[in-house]
Amino acid sequence: MASSFQTLPGFRDFYPEECAVRNHLFRLWRQAAAEFGFSEWDAPVLEPLELFTEKSGEEIRRQLFEFVDKGGRAVALRPEMTPSLARMVGAKAASLRRPIKWFSIGENYRYERMQKGRGRSFYQFNADILGEAGRAADAEIIALTARALELAGLKSQDVVVRLSDRTLWFEFLSSKVAPEAVGEVLAIIDKIEREPQEKILEKLSAHCADATALLADIRAFLQINSLEALEAFLNTLADKKESLSARLNDWRALLGRLNAMGYGDWVAVDFGIVRGLAYYTGFVFEVFERSGEGRALAGGGRYDNLVAKLGGADLPACGFGMGDITLRLSLEERGLLPQFLNAPDFYAVTSGDGATQEAALADASQLRRANLRVEYALKGAAFGKQLKAASQSGAPFALLYGESEIAQNAVRVKDLTTGKESLLPRDENLTAHLVAVRRVGLPKDPCHGHEH
Amino acid sequence: MASSFQTLPGFRDFYPEECAVRNHLFRLWRQAAAEFGFSEWDAPVLEPLELFTEKSGEEIRRQLFEFVDKGGRAVALRPEMTPSLARMVGAKAASLRRPIKWFSIGENYRYERMQKGRGRSFYQFNADILGEAGRAADAEIIALTARALELAGLKSQDVVVRLSDRTLWFEFLSSKVAPEAVGEVLAIIDKIEREPQEKILEKLSAHCADATALLADIRAFLQINSLEALEAFLNTLADKKESLSARLNDWRALLGRLNAMGYGDWVAVDFGIVRGLAYYTGFVFEVFERSGEGRALAGGGRYDNLVAKLGGADLPACGFGMGDITLRLSLEERGLLPQFLNAPDFYAVTSGDGATQEAALADASQLRRANLRVEYALKGAAFGKQLKAASQSGAPFALLYGESEIAQNAVRVKDLTTGKESLLPRDENLTAHLVAVRRVGLPKDPCHGHEH
């Protein structure tokens, strides 16, 4: 009889091995966030539909799991955390101490075509700083992104934080196209590597008289790959000197902090990152494999106007998101996922049902109350068969309860690796003794022990 | 400008303080499950609608967040984990080592009228043993339920596991009403304390000739509150002696194991628990405050036929669920929730932007890489103002970077409780020294230290 029920496409079952990997990533993320002094928050998986359309426009609905609930409300499973963040921070903006440094680990849902590294449900680590407009906040966000990857075992030789600047793109383009067209031009630039040149030129010509010249200027801008190159490039521009040189100072401050924190070699100046989303306002970044393969491991940037729009509080903000699926693939390919063992600390083996079993249950319960992991057979079985199960469980030690041990009010502890045994009295110190055995092994010269 | 967006009714925002409480419960649950050797699993929040209607019938749809997705599939947010458990275990039944001991911590969703201790979204700790039919598995599940509550700080004087038996109810009632009516009669009994006697009698009379006599028998059965009383009661029954005395042995074995594990005083024989859900097949239990107030803290029992129905594998099973909302209320009322401090270990204070700031950032980054929590101001501020922020952050120590410290390539560590200070060289041992300071405080006789 086979079950007809299937997991929905794009959703994932987490069997214990998978769940252990997921929880490992969650632990890394929580650890990194704690080191940087961020506090965890969470929001409902279901939110009013308009919270998402207000941020991203009606077109987001194509990607949403949306419906009308039994109370007639238009609702949707969250596709991301940022709108909920803006809503929650906005609601308590007056009472929250600033800067607000929050992180979340939440599952998000998008109804989209499935491809490698992208399901319809995925976990994302988000961290945001709200209420601080300075470059120190951007640096903190970028350093935390790198730190989370570093904790996972990745190095600056493996991945790169491609750092760009929407402010500078605006400054640069607004002398060449109408200010209101800059957003559209950036969306064209976002596809510059994926679309044929004729198509790019055709699109650009809608926004300027000489598309060829504009494309050449854009390509020159895209060549910039260092602070020095940026400085040299800006010096060649005649117009807007002042605002551009102020922005150059922002770059110096940002990269200076990242260097001081030891994350300078994780970062590359790269104006190819424009972040499609319209709400980014300043520094933006995406993290990729140095090899260039695969989807972005993380991405983020500054979004100074969004909280006001969604949360009603005028708070500058920056943050990032890091998904579990791409990160997991990257760690797996590099052999950076640890082996997760679910082995007990002790496995109790008993002969018979009466006093031996009672003793085993009592001791097991005491050990569990000392936070050790203890297992035993739940079904009557021969002593030898139980001992085999003890070995198979991966437990380093077995606790043997036979008639003779019980007659002496004792338990025999067996090191399942060496085969050594030691008889311990079942007195009020037993739990403490076994906790010590778990930590440092059997006593070297056991009073009552013998070897087999 | 206030935001118009609201959390949906019955859903919860987790601001950092709330999230810390939630995560505290999650930690307790994971700890208890680990002690008992259970492995964590998880399933999608969205499942095919029929997975839930197959288990609970069409009437469950009233309570579901259900909709048709963009691919035309009838789907629902999960109202509980058990159907997904049956689906997943069924799909891999042949390859999973038995007994299968799994736990999950998942959010569930029910569209229902809101009341105290019940929202439309709630977290539940579920633990189940599949593939083991004996009383040892029931005992393990009940002991784990108690252990989770014990870890949270509750005692057997606070709460009681009301233990009942659907098998015995069936045995008892099937000599009095038609076997196919037993389920309905149990549903009537489930409401015996909440509905007037006439209504109960009226309902019972649909299933037997003498409803008054049946109700008297039922009330006598409900009086049983110990193993001895159960034995005495069963001895008064003329019929079905054999199966009843076999079941009495099951009771002895179950209570014997719970006694041996030290959880005997958590459990009370109480046939008032019948667990409305039709799929329970054996021992069932619910945990309540001893005071009788509030909703059940947990509930569970044996369900030997459900996995075959939903998962296609014939596996006996038992398990329990424990919700976060009721548990939290109980812990809160007793003052058993710890204070959650989000204080950094160190707070760095700098004078100026140049070398002092670089030194502070470098040291902070090294400390974070040693897994300590370090904060500093993200905005330029006077030294004294930063020092005040350090105190307000709750950090036990401040790291002071002034001109004179930097000139000596040193950092001044200030104990923010005592006011004591100590100058530490910024050499390759600095991180190790500060890790030690965090653990045991400033050196008692600091070489370079002085007091203010």
Q: Region A261-280: what's the mean pLDDT?
A: 88
**Cβ neighbours of residue B121 closer than 8 Å, sequence gap 6 or more:** A44, A45, A46, B10, B11, B12, B107, B108, B109
Tell me if A3 and B87 make a contact (CB, 8 A cut-off). yes
Q: Read off the tokens for A266.
A: 């994780």
Q: Read off the tokens for B45.
A: 């929040």
Cα separations (Å) of A285 from A226, A247, A281?
A: 15, 16, 12
Of B1, B262, B342, the CB nearest to A362: B262
Backbone angles phi, psi at B162, to 5 degrees: -85, 110
Task: For residues B108 and B120, give the distance between their C-alpha atoms in angstroms, rounded to a whole number.
Answer: 8
Element (H, E) at A67: strand A66-68
Element (H, E) at B410: strand B410-415
Please identify, in words, the CATH class of the domain defined by B16-175+239-333: alpha beta
Nearest Cα of chain A lies from the Cα of B109 at a distance, in angstroms, of 10
Strands B39-40 and A346-350, by their bridges, are: unpaired
Q: What is the DSSP letter of A61?
A: G
Structure-token match 């910039």, residue found:
A224
Q: Read off the tokens for B117.
A: 């201790």
Cα separations (Å) of A402 from A383, A405, B28?
A: 9, 5, 34
3-state class of A313 per DSSP? coil
Return the pLDDT at B243.
80
Tell me if A36 and B362 make a contact (CB, 8 A cut-off). no
Same fold, A16-155+288-333 and A346-440: no
Q: Region B238-256: what's the mean pLDDT?
A: 86
Mean pLDDT of chain B: 92
pLDDT at residue A449 tops 50:
no
Amino acid identity, position A317: A
Residue A242 banded pLDDT, cuts 50, 70, 90: confident
CATH number (3.40.50.800, 3.30.70.100, 3.40.50.720, 3.40.50.10490) of B346-440 reads 3.40.50.800
Return the pLDDT at A5.
85
Task: For residues B242 and B231, give the distance between their C-alpha atoms in angstroms, rounded to a whole number.
Answer: 13
pLDDT in tens, B421-445: 999 999 999 999 999 999 999 987 5
Residues of B in contact with A263 (CB under 8 A): 365
Cis peptide before B9 (omega within 30 of 0): no
pLDDT at residue A117 tops 70:
no
Residues of A in contact with B257 (CB under 8 A): 361
Nearest Cα of chain B lies from the Cα of A285 at a distance, in angstroms, of 20
* More confident of the two residues A368 and B189: A368
Structure-token match 């002496």, residue found:
A408
Residue B342 banded pLDDT, cuts 50, 70, 90: confident
Closest CA to A66 of A120, A109, A114: A109
Backbone angles phi, psi at A46, to 5 degrees: -110, 130
Q: Read off the tokens for B392.
A: 């307000």
Tell me if B12 and A90 make a contact (CB, 8 A cut-off). no
3-state class of A99 per DSSP? coil
Of B15, B342, B371, the CB nearest to A88: B15
pLDDT at residue A450 tops 90:
no
Of A4, A41, A310, the CB nearest to B5: A310
CA torsion through residues B141, B142, B143, B146, sign = positive
pLDDT in tens, A146-194: 999 999 999 999 999 999 999 999 888 988 899 889 888 988 998 888 8
Neighbours of A152 (CB within 10 A): 21
Return the pLDDT at A234.
86
Residues of A in contact with B1 (CB under 8 A): 308, 312-314
| Of the listed ranges A47-56, B276-285, B385-394, the one predicted with least confidence | B276-285
Q: Which residue of A has its CA nearest to B43?
A: A13
Of B2, B31, B129, the CB nearest to A371: B31
Nearest Cα of chain A lies from the Cα of B158 at a distance, in angstroms, of 18
pLDDT at residue B353 tops 80:
no
Task: For residues B274 and B282, give the distance between their C-alpha atoms in angstroms, rounded to a whole number.
Answer: 10
Q: Which residue of A has its CA nearest to B101?
A: A16
Structure-token match 């014997």, residue found:
B256
CA torsion through residues A79, A81, A82, A83, sign = positive
Residue B4 banded pLDDT, cuts 50, 70, 90: low
Return the pLDDT at A311.
82
Predicted complex ipTM: 0.94
Q: Where are the domains of chain A?
A: 16-155+288-333, 346-440
Return the pLDDT at A119.
83
* Contact status, residue B223 vs residue B229, Cβ threshold 8 Å: yes
Backbone angles phi, psi at A176, to 5 degrees: -115, -30
Q: Which residue of A has its CA nearest to B54?
A: A5
Tell me if B65 and A46 make a contact (CB, 8 A cut-off). yes
* CATH hierarchy code of domain A16-155+288-333: 3.30.930.10
Closest CA to B263 of B107, B380, B148, B398: B148
Amino acid identity, position B37: G
Angle at B275 between CA B270 and CA B278, to 5 degrees: 140
Q: Region A35-61: what's the mean pLDDT?
A: 94
Closest CA to A5 of B54, B104, B82, B102: B54
CB-based contacts of B180-188 (< 8 A; 24+ apart in sequence): B181/B207, B183/B278, B186/B274, B187/B274, B187/B276
Return the pLDDT at B116.
61
**Residue B423 pairs with which residues in a beta bridge?**
B412
